[in-house]
C-alpha cells in the first residue's frame, strides 16, 4: 500500500503560507466571508465543480474522475460498471472566541479570536488533498466531495451543509466519509490515532438561571441571594454526576461560564451559569438531564430561590464505522509506520458535528499529532489560548486525506497503483 506523502511534502511550503494566512484572519461561527474567499481562491483552476452555501459560508467542491469504473467478474476479468464510488473529505474552517497568547510571526490579527483548535490546518490540508487528487483525475473512477465547513464550534455547521445537500453533491450518497483532526498535545507530526465505534462524545448545553431577590450586601437576611445557591448547584452537580452514572461509562460536566451581579456590595436578582455535558451513551445523557433538574431544584428550594434549567442537545456521539476505521489504520500505518499509529482505547470526550455526517455515511474521523518540537513536556491542548500546532503536520494531513480517498474500494480502477504525485 503506497502513500502520497512525498507528493504532499512538495506542497508543504505553499500549504504553510496558506495556513498562516488563515491563522492571521480567523472568523467565528457560520459566516466566514474572508475564509470562504481564501478557499475559493485556492481551489480556482483545479477543475472542480464548486458551490457555496446559502445559510452559511460553506464551500463544496466535487472532483469528477474521468477513469472508467470497473468491477471484477467471476472469470477474473475487469468489466465496466455504472457503480461509481463517492468519497467525502471534510475540513472545518471556523475559529474560537479566544485571545491568542502566543507571540508567533503569524499570530491572530483579530482581537479576541484565534484558531485554537487547528481548523486553519484542516482547511489547508484539504486544499492540498484537492490539488493532489485533481492532478490525477484521469486515474479516478469515481467522485470526491470536498466539504469545507463553517460553524463546527457550537454552531452545527454540518447540519446546515447536510440540509443544503452536501451529501448529494456528487449525484449520489458517498460510499465513505473521512475527516482528519489535529491535536496540539497528541504527539509530533505524523502521529495518528483513531478507534472503531464511539470516538467522540455527545454534547449537551446546560444553562441554569437562579432567580432570587436583590438587596444590600450588608443585609442578606432581607434578600434572597442567588449567588450561594448557584455556587452550591455547581458543586452539587459534580457529586450528583458521580452517583448517577456507572463509573465505567464516561461522563463529564464542566461549568465554563458563571455570571452574577454588578457590584461587590449589591446582592443581585439573578445568577447564571452555563455548562457542557459530555457522554457517549444516549441513556446516560437522558439520565443526567433528569439528575440536573432534580439537583438544581432541590438546592433552589433549600435556599428559597427559583431556578430555570435549560438543557439543549448539541452534537450526537461521533461513531466510526468499523471497516472504514480499519482502512484508516492501514493507510496511516503505510504512511508513517505502525510504531506511530495508535488504536485508541477510549473515546475522546470532545464533541464533533462530523458526527452528523457519520450518522448518514460510513466513515471515520482520524486524529493527527501536531505538537511542535519546542512545545516541551506539557504542551497546551486544543482550545487553549496557548495552543500551538506544528506546520510539519500539514503534509501528513494532506497525504492522509488523499490516501483515505484513493484506498476506498473502487475509487481507483482495479490494478491502479494507489499513490499520487505532483504533476507539473
Q: Under a CB-based contact definition with an 8 Å cutoff, are residues 216 and 223 in contact? A: yes
Strands 176-183 and 86-92: parallel
155 phi/psi in degrees, rounded to 5: -110, 0
In this structure, the number of other CB atoms found within 10 A of the CB of residue 377 comes to 4
Beta strands 251-260 and 59-64, pairing class = unpaired
Question: What is residue 423's predicted lDDT score, i.e. its pLDDT?
Answer: 39
Given a cut of 70, the residues of the chain with pLDDT beneath it are 1-2, 70-82, 414-424
Residue 374 has a pLDDT of 85
**Distance, CA of 344 to CA of 194 (rounded, Å):** 6
Whole-number pLDDT of residue 377: 86
Per-residue HEC secondary structure of the chain comes to: CCCCHHHHHCCHHHHHHHHHHHHHCCCCCCCCHHHHHHHHHHHCCCCCEEEECCCCCCEEEEEECCCCCEEECCCCCEEECCCCCEEEEEEECCCECCCCCCCCCCCCCCCCCECCCCHHHHHHHHHHHHHHHHCCHHHCCCEEEEEEECCCCCCCHHHHHHHCCHHHCCCCCCCEEEEEEEECCCCCCCCEEECCEEEECEEEEEEEEEECECEECCCHHHCECHHHHHHHHHHHHHHHHHHHCCCCCCEEEEEEEEEECCCCCEECCEEEEEEEEEECCHHHHHHHHHHHHHHHHHHHHHHCCEEEEEEEEEECCEEECHHHHHHHHHHHHHHHCHHHEEECCCCECCCCCHHHHHCCCCEEEEEEECCCHHHCCCCCCCCCCCCCCCCCHHHHHHHHHHHHHHCCCCCCCCCCCCCCCCCC
Q: How far apart are CA 127 and CA 116, in angstroms?
A: 20
The cell numbers describing 175, all together, are 460510499
Distances (CA, A) of 151 to 91, 95, 319, 361, 383: 11, 8, 20, 20, 15
Domains present along the chain, CATH in parentheses:
5-200+317-406 (3.40.630.10), 202-315 (3.30.70.360)
CA distance 331 to 349: 25
Put simply, whether the predicted model's pTM sits higher than 0.85 gets the answer yes
> 172-191 burial by CB neighbour count: b if 16+ within 10 A, else e?
eebbbbbbbbbbbbbbbbbb
Residue with cell 484506498: 407
Neighbour tally for 242: CB within 10 Å: 10
Is the distance from CB of 344 to CB of 250 less than 8 angstroms?
Answer: no
Find where cell 470536498 sits: 146
307-336 confidence digits (pLDDT tens) = 999 998 899 999 999 999 999 999 999 999
What are the C-alpha distances in Å from 191 to residues 259, 286, 318, 329, 391?
A: 40, 36, 21, 12, 14
Rounded-to-integer distance, Cα 3 and Cα 332, Å:
9
What's the confidence (pLDDT) of residue 424? 36
Q: Quick one: which of 209, 202, 231, 173 has its CA closest to 349?
A: 202
Sign of the four-CA dihedral 118, 155, 180, 84? negative
Q: State the Cα–Cα distance between residues 92 and 102, nearest whole angstrom.
A: 22
Amino acid at each position: 500500500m503506497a502513500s502520497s506523502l512525498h507528493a504532499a511534502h512538495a506542497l508543504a511550503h505553499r500549504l504553510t503560507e496558506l495556513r498562516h494566512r488563515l491563522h492571521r484572519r480567523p472568523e467565528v461561527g457560520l459566516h466566514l466571508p474572508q475564509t470562504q474567499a481564501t478557499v475559493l481562491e485556492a481551489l480556482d483552476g483545479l477543475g472542480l465543480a464548486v458551490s457555496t452555501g446559502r445559510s452559511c459560508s460553506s464551500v463544496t467542491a466535487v472532483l469528477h474522475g474521468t477513469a472508467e469504473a470497473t468491477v471484477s467478474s467471476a472469470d477474473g476479468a475487469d468489466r465496466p460498471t455504472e457503480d461509481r464510488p463517492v468519497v467525502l473529505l471534510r475540513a472545518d474552517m471556523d475559529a474560537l472566541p479566544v485571545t491568542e497568547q502566543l507571540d508567533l510571526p503569524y499570530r491572530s490579527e483579530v482581537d479576541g479570536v484565534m484558531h485554537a483548535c487547528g481548523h486553519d490546518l484542516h482547511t489547508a490540508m484539504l486544499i492540498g488533498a484537492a490539488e493532489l487528487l485533481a492532478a490525477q483525475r484521469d486515474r479516478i473512477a469515481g467522485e470526491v466531495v470536498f466539504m469545507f465547513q463553517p460553524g463546527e464550534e457550537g454552531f452545527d455547521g454540518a447540519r446546515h451543509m447536510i440540509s443544503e445537500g452536501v451529501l448529494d453533491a456528487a449525484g449520489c450518497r458517498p460510499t465513505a466519509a473521512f475527516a482528519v483532526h489535529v491535536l496540539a498535545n497528541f504527539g509530533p507530526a505524523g502521529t495518528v490515532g483513531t478507534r472503531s465505534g464511539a470516538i467522540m462524545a455527545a454534547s449537551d448545553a446546560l444553562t441554569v438561571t437562579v432567580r432570587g431577590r436583590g438587596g444590600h450586601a450588608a443585609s442578606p437576611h432581607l434578600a434572597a441571594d442567588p449567588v450561594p445557591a448557584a455556587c452550591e448547584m455547581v458543586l452539587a452537580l459534580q457529586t450528583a454526576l458521580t452517583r448517577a452514572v456507572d463509573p465505567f461509562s464516561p461522563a463529564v460536566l464542566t461549568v465554563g461560564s458563571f455570571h452574577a451581579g454588578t457590584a461587590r456590595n449589591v446582592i443581585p436578582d439573578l445568577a447564571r451559569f452555563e455548562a457542557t455535558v459530555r457522554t457517549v451513551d444516549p441513556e446516560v445523557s437522558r439520565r443526567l438531564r433528569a439528575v440536573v433538574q432534580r439537583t438544581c431544584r432541590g438546592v433552589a428550594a433549600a435556599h428559597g430561590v427559583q431556578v430555570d434549567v435549560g438543557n439543549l442537545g448539541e452534537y450526537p456521539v461521533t461513531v466510526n464505522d468499523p471497516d472504514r476505521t480499519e482502512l484508516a489504520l492501514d493507510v496511516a500505518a503505510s504512511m508513517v509506520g505502525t510504531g506511530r499509529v495508535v488504536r485508541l482505547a477510549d473515546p475522546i470526550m470532545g464533541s464533533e458535528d462530523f458526527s452528523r455526517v457519520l450518522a448518514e455515511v460510513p466513515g471515520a474521523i482520524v486524529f493527527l499529532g501536531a505538537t511542535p518540537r519546542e512545545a516541551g513536556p506539557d504542551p497546551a491542548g486544543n482550545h487553549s489560548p496557548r495552543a500551538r500546532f506544528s506546520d510539519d503536520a500539514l503534509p501528513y494531513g494532506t497525504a492522509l486525506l488523499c490516501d483515505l480517498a484513493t484506498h476506498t474500494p473502487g475509487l481507483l480502477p482495479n490494478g491502479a497503483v494507489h499513490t499520487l504525485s505532483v504533476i507539473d
